[in-house]
Each structure stands twice: as C-alpha cells, then as structure tokens.
C-alpha cells in the first residue's frame, strides 16, 4: 500500500510538472510565432519593393527598346570577295582595314552621335562554343580597329552570333565564305 501511495505521488508530481512546463512552452511558442510573423511581414514588404523595382526596370527597358525601333541608319558588311575572313581567322586583311578606315572617316565626317553594334559571324564548321568565341574575336578586332581610328569606345558594342545567323546555307565552300563576316550596324 505504501508503494502504491508513493507511485501515485510520483505520478502526480510528474503530471504537475508536465502541465506547468506545457504552459511555459505555449507562451514561448506564442512569443516566437509573433516574432516570425513580424519578420514575414518585413520580408513581404521587401519583396514588394523588389517587385516594384523590377517592374520599373522592365518599363525603362521597354521604353528604350521603343526608342531604338526605327533608328537603324545603315550597315556595313565585311564579307565580300575583297574582304573575307579565312577559316579560323579573326585578323583583318589590308582591304578590310582600308574599308574600315574609310568607314571611320565617314562616321567622323558626319559628326553624328551614332551607336555601332558590331556583329561577329562564322560558318558552321567547328564546335558551337568555338564558333561563338571566333565570332566575338572578329567583332572585337573590328571594334579595336575603329577605336584606334577615332570612333569612341562608348559608342560601340560587340556581339557574337557564331554560326547561328548564316546569310546563305553552309553547303558549299563559297557559301561558308560568305557566312564568315562582321556586320557593323549604325544606329542613331
């Protein structure tokens, strides 16, 4: 009987301890949930501000795109018989240098604030990554030449299309030669 009383007392103490600790835990949880709720509210505000900034950036980009539409003036292509890029080469021939020199003088003579997009292209021989790199080298060679001849660097940008934008099918040697080119787009 004494044992049963001791067991009941111990059980009662344990139950009381659990009940008391349960109340403390509930209070702690409510406090923590309140803090998390405040942080979630702060993060929601920050996300809203980022979303607004993103929308504004998209609107500015769209407006800039609309301004650029219809502003194409003319282009010059380096790929004809006198100015070809040989296979795997990004250097300018003397004929290409002369044409680019005349082009730079024309730009300076017009005295217009124009923007140049210099596009590098290749034929489809070689791996896509290699063609992308070769197209960029060709465009950069032209940009460097024009810069050395008085065209401001901040008015030029290069882009490589690699073999992605051929002017003719890459099915013959002559056609592949036409696709190895640099196009200079003049935009106002």
**Which tens digit of pLDDT belongs to each residue from 121-176?**
999 988 999 999 999 999 999 999 999 999 888 889 999 999 999 999 999 988 88
Contacts of residue 49, defined as CB under 8 A and 6 or more positions apart, other chains included, come to: none
Residue 106 to residues 36, 103, 120, 162, 166, Cα–Cα distance (Å)? 65, 5, 22, 28, 28
Between CA 100 and CA 77, with CA 86 as vertex, the angle to 5 degrees is 35
Cα 1 from Cα 36, distance rounded (Å)? 52
pLDDT of residue 2: 62
Q: What are phi and psi of 87, to 5 degrees?
A: -55, 135
Residue 70: predicted pLDDT: 42
* Those residues with Cβ within 8 angstroms of residue 113's Cβ, 6 or more apart along the chain or in another chain: 155, 188
Question: Which residues of the chain have a pLDDT value below 50?
Answer: 70
Cβ contacts of residue 173 below 8 Å, gap of 6+?
Answer: none
- Residue spans per domain, the chain: 1-67, 70-187
SS3 content of the chain, % helix, strand, coil (to 5): 60, 15, 25
pLDDT of residue 49: 72
Please state the φ and ψ torsions of residue 95, each to the nearest 5 degrees: -65, -40
Whole-prediction pTM: 0.59
What confidence score (pLDDT) does residue 93 get?
84
Burial class (CB in 10 A: 0-12, 13-18, 19+), 145: middle
Q: Which CATH architecture has domain 70-187?
A: 2-Layer Sandwich (3.30)
């Amino acid at each position: 009987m004494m044992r049963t009383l001791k067991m009941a007392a111990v059980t009662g103490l344990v139950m009381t301890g659990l009940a008391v600790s349960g109340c403390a835990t509930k209070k702690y949880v409510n406090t923590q949930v309140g803090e998390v709720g405040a942080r979630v509210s702060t993060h929601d505000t920050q996300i809203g501000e980022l979303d607004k900034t993103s929308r504004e950036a998209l609107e500015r980009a769209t407006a800039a795109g609309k301004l650029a539409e219809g502003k194409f003036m003319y282009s010059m292509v380096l790929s004809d018989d006198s100015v070809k890029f040989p296979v795997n080469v990004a250097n300018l021939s003397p004929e290409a240098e002369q044409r680019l020199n005349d082009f730079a003088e024309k730009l300076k003579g017009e005295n217009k604030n124009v923007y140049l997009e210099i596009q590098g292209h290749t034929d489809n021989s070689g791996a896509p990554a290699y063609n992308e790199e070769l197209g960029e080298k060709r465009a950069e060679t032209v940009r460097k030449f024009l810069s050395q001849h008085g065209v401001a660097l901040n008015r030029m940008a290069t882009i490589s299309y690699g073999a992605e934008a051929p002017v003719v099918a890459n099915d013959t040697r002559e056609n592949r030669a036409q696709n190895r080119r640099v196009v200079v787009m003049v935009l106002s």
